[in-house]
Amino acid sequence: MEIEFKIFTLNCWGIPVVSKDIKPRMKSIAEHLVSARYDMVCLQEVWTESDYNLIRDKVGAAYPYSHYFYSGVIGSGVCVFSKYVLQDVFFHQWPVNGYIHKFQHGDWFAGKGIAMCRVIVNGYNINVYTSHLLAEYNRTSDEYETHRMLQAYDTAQFIQVTSAAADLVILAGDLNTEPGDLPHRVLMSVTGFTDAYIEAEEEAQQPFYTNDGPHNSYTASSLLKRKYPGKRIDYIMYNCGSNTSVVMKKYCRPLPNRVAGCEYSYSDHEAITATLKVSRSEGSEKKCDLSTRASVLSECIEVCNVALNTLLNHKRVYWFFTVFFFLLLTTTVVMDSLFGKAVLIHVARVVITILLGFTFIMATAWNMIERNALIAGKLAMQVSLKQTVEKKGFEF
């Protein structure tokens, strides 16, 4: 028996205070979901329970099964809505998630990770994964490049381990990586995924983007002035089990540029949807380019080595400032007796103590957490690389 499975994904841009038109946009997104009737919906950046509840209440008849993946301080922002019973749900938080002191970014507070849910459709086991990788805030000088690469590899590992019994495996979400970037290549090579857009590329009649596009109402004016074409960072990727085959039937952006009757878009990202046709295929085997996988893993290991050296330098810098602030704190005792400015001296002591505590934590606990995550990822990559080389039967 063949089945068709239609999946939808969208980064809803629901950041409290920062994002614009949140409530009316969430309502419009929910109305579209009801009218379109997908099999599974994956949403990201639904940051508040009230927004999740708003959507859930409106789509309940069309999608009676839903789940919000709680994590971190403010929640993962990731949720799913399903036409079918959710057999299992699980959330795996990544060991590296940005930095706690980068308040303006906020990724660490979200406790980001990879979410999984399993449904059964006419006897087919379908694993759907959705995620929202660490954002890229500066492409020319990306301080999170290594974190994002480790998140991608961790995601690929998690999918490999949990999808052995699945007939269809789908990853849908905002992966914050462009085609050809290292995290994208990691996901593609380690899992053997097919990028749905690549399968539909011949049918595309216009430049395809999912963020910062020229027709989105929330695209920055500076990008519009220099005619930035947008970027593709939201994906639907898929793979099949050993006894099934999958064909991508349709892939598109289902939402118009503006909400009907309004001057704003549904989000600062574009939604994408894919319809996959799944059938039984006895004895089919997954194809994987082992040479590409070995090359990608070797590049990842080298990135880890560079990051570990950088982390060691950061540790030295933080220790230097820890000693500096400690000595500065001790001098305030002399200053107190010399100048007699008790209030100012106490304020200075508080500030210096806070800075001392911050640099000490960064030089010790935080540095070790990041170092251990890097080493763990590197060692896992080395194991995978060794197995890949042995399967291929060549030296790399």
The pLDDT of residue 340: 56
Q: Is residue 298 part of a domain?
A: yes
Q: How many domains are contained in the chain?
A: 2
Residue 324 lies in a domain: yes
- The answer on 341 and 244 residing in a single domain is no
Residue 150 domain flag? yes
CA–CA gap between residue 270 and residue 234 (Å, rounded): 8
Residue 230 lies in a domain: yes
pLDDT at 98: 85
Of 258, 280, 302, the residue that ends a domain is: 280
Residue 285 domain-assigned?
Answer: no
Do 310 and 345 fall into the same domain? Answer: yes
DSSP assignment of 125-186: EEEEEEEEPPP-S-SSS-TTHHHHHHHHHHHHHHHHHH-TT-SEEEEEEE----TTSHHHHH
Say whether both 236 and 213 belong to one domain: yes
Same-domain status, 200 and 346? no
The structure's pTM equals: 0.91
My answer on whether 227 and 320 are in the same domain is no
- Residues with catalytic annotation? 269
pLDDT at residue number 113: 95
Say which residue the tokens 């220790």 belong to. 319
Stretches where the chain sits below pLDDT 50 are: 205, 395-396
- Predicted local confidence at residue 84, as pLDDT: 97
Task: For residues 21 and 138, state if they share a domain.
Answer: yes
Instruction: Answer yes or no: do 198 and 84 share one domain.
Output: yes
Which token pair is 126? 């379908």
Domain shared by 331 and 188, yes or no: no
Which single residue is written with the structure tokens 């909400």? 259
Domain range for residue 165?
3-280
Shared-domain flag, residues 247 and 274: yes
For residue 71 the two structure tokens come to: 């994590």
Of 280, 315, 335, the domain-final residue:
280
pLDDT of residue 339: 55
303 and 384 in a single domain? The answer is: yes
Choosing from 246, 280, 314, the residue where a domain stops is 280
